[in-house]
């Protein structure tokens, strides 16, 4: 949980593993954690995030891009990855 608290907000957490469902949560400054849905694949979860941000631009970071934290329960928290600026790298 310490790593999540250090990630600049706003950001999305995608929680899950290959072969299971993925849960998507949103985090914003001074707002409670927001559950956004359950998806069958990481690709589906990311497509949802991209569309959600398109319709809710307040979720863009200061650079006008998306912050995302990929959390896989099977690996140590220190190995979980967070990405900033993922629109160009991951969504297109």
Which tens digits make up the pLDDT trace of 42-54? 999 999 999 999 9
* Structural domain for 47, as ranges: 2-85
> 54-79, pLDDT tens digit by residue?
999 999 988 889 999 999 999 888 88
The answer to whether position 13 is within a domain reads yes
Contact 17, 73 (CB under 8 A): yes
Residue 57 lies in a domain: yes
Q: Is 92 a residue whose pLDDT tops 70?
A: no
Structural domain contains residue 91: no
Is this model's pTM higher than 0.75 or not?
yes
**Looking up tokens 């998806």, which residue turns up?**
39
Closest CA to 52 of 42, 41, 62, 37: 37
Tell me how many domains the chain contains: 1
The candidate with the shortest Cα–Cα distance to 51, out of 43, 34, 30, 10, is 43
**Domain membership flag for residue 92:** no
The pLDDT of residue 52 is 96
pLDDT in tens, 15-47: 999 889 999 999 999 899 999 999 999 999 999
Is 35 contained in some domain? yes
């Amino acid at each position: 949980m310490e790593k999540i608290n250090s990630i600049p907000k706003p950001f999305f957490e995608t929680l899950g593993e290959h072969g299971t469902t993925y849960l998507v949560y949103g985090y914003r400054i001074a707002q409670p954690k927001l559950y956004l849905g359950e998806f069958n694949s990481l690709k589906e979860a990311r497509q949802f995030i991209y569309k959600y941000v398109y319709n809710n631009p307040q979720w863009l970071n200061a650079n006008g891009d998306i912050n995302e934290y990929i959390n896989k329960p099977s690996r140590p928290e220190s190995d979980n990855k967070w990405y900033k600026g993922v629109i160009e790298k991951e969504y297109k």
